[in-house]
Amino acid sequence: MNTNSVGLIGVGLLGSSLANRFMERGLRVHGFDSSEEQLEALIQCGGIAGDSAAEVVQTCDVVFFALPTSDVVLSLIQQLRNDFKPSQIIIDTTTGDPQKMISIGQSLAELGLSYLEATVAGSSAQVTAGEVALLLGGDAELVAKVQPFLAAITSKHFHLGPVGTASRFKLVHNLVLGLHRAVLAEGLVFAESLGFNQELTLEILRRTPAESGVMETKGRRMVERDYQLQARLSQHLKDVRLILAEAERSGAKTPLSEAHQGLLERAEVLGFGDADNSAVIEAFRYPQTEDL
């Protein structure tokens, strides 16, 4: 296995951050994305842009997927069936439907490939800083084999079991993290309605038992209405829908996530779907009866 280069399909927010981590550690990155703009950005950072996804998988022994949904991954695998190499390793960072991730692993195994889920607990900015955790699903021997690539991203990773377990736990993580954002947003707007300055409110809360990591990463963005993209709001809405579907399958009760879905949908209708997910606060700033 060549550990000096790595393939990367999808060089958007997450993929470009992964590319930077790899290149900082001396790896050659061969990438592809459907966006010419993203490919040009990869080249500017020192990466090698492929003309197609097929070119990337034909070039590299280890290929990372950084794609928006498991449906996109399934479609890509069908397109690349004749381009994969025997014994190739696919590491998938997609937050997707756990059942579909299992199907992806089975499809690749039939082609003689190894598949590892490596879902990312954190934003693209946190990937760049090396502050994320990787949630791993797959064979333990495979985890050990690709350790140099995982270490290039972060020192924190958790092997949770076979394929499917990482995507299920990522939904647990995103449920808690997303609700932290929603609670902070509601609290800031509530404080303002009582006559308290939001900036002062945030400063005080960060020095009390109510403090959370979300205050550090998203608090000032909410206060200043700075929604420069780190993690897209509409992408988290997709995750919440996956959470609710998985909860229905398992019989879990998730009333807070049901309310959270409504908040995110409202923020999306207000035009914040492509903004950073800190824009969930906008769902609290407009009366529910307002004509959109």
- CATH number of the domain within which 43 lies: 3.40.50.720
**What's the rounded mean pLDDT across residues 268-280?**
96
181 shares a domain with 153: no
Which pLDDT belongs to residue 289?
46
pLDDT digits (tens, 9 = 90+) for 171-192: 999 999 999 999 999 999 999 9
Radius of gyration of the chain measured on its C-alpha atoms: 20
Q: Tell me: do 77 and 182 sit in the same domain.
A: no
Domain C-terminal end among 136, 163, 190? 163
Q: Do both 150 and 251 map to the same domain?
A: no
118/61 same-domain check: yes
Share of the chain above pLDDT 90, in %: 89
* Residue 248 placed within a domain: yes
Q: Tokens 């995110």 — which residue?
A: 264
Name the percent of the chain lying above pLDDT 70.
Answer: 98
Counting runs of H as helices and runs of E as strands, what totals does the chain give? 15, 8
> Per the structure, how many domains does the chain have?
2
If asked whether residues 103 and 63 sit together in one domain, one would say yes
Contact 163, 184 (CB under 8 A): no
Q: Which range among 68-82, 183-197, 278-292 shows the weakest confidence by mean pLDDT?
A: 278-292
Question: Which region holds residue 30: left if phi is over 0, alpha if psi is between -120 and 50, else beta?
Answer: beta
Residue 149 confidence (pLDDT):
95
Long-range Cβ contacts of 215-220 (<8 Å, 24+ apart) = 215/184, 217/123, 217/125, 217/126, 218/181, 218/184, 218/276, 218/277, 218/278, 219/184, 219/188
Tell me the pLDDT tens digit for each residue of 212-242.
999 999 999 999 999 999 889 999 999 999 9
State the pLDDT at residue 43: 94
| Secondary structure letter of residue 269 according to DSSP | I
Q: Band of the pLDDT at 125, cuts 50, 70, 90?
A: confident
Whether residue 157 sits in one domain with residue 223: no
3-state secondary structure of 30: strand
Q: In what order do the strands lie in the sheet with 157-161?
A: 48-49, 28-32, 5-9, 62-65, 89-92, 114-121, 133-137, 157-161
Task: Give the confidence band of 44 by pLDDT, cuts at 50, 70, 90.
Answer: very high
Task: Say whether pLDDT at 287 is over 90.
Answer: no
User: Does any domain span residue 76?
Assistant: yes
Residue 95, pLDDT above cutoff 90: no
Determine the average pLDDT of the residues in 96-103.
92
Q: Is the pTM of this model over 0.85?
A: yes
Q: How far is CA 241 from the centre of its chain?
A: 15
Stated as kind and residue range, the H or E segment containing 47 is: none
Same domain? For 214 and 272 the reply is yes
In a domain, 292, yes or no: no
Domain annotation covers residue 111: yes
Residue 290 domain-assigned (yes or no): no
Three-class DSSP category at 277: helix
pLDDT at 291 exceeding the cut of 70? no
Same domain, 175 and 275: yes
The pLDDT value recorded for residue 87 is 87
Q: Which domain holds residue 131?
A: 5-163
Is the same domain home to 72 and 152? Answer: yes
Per-residue pLDDT for 288 more than 70?
no
Residues 115 and 184 in one domain: no
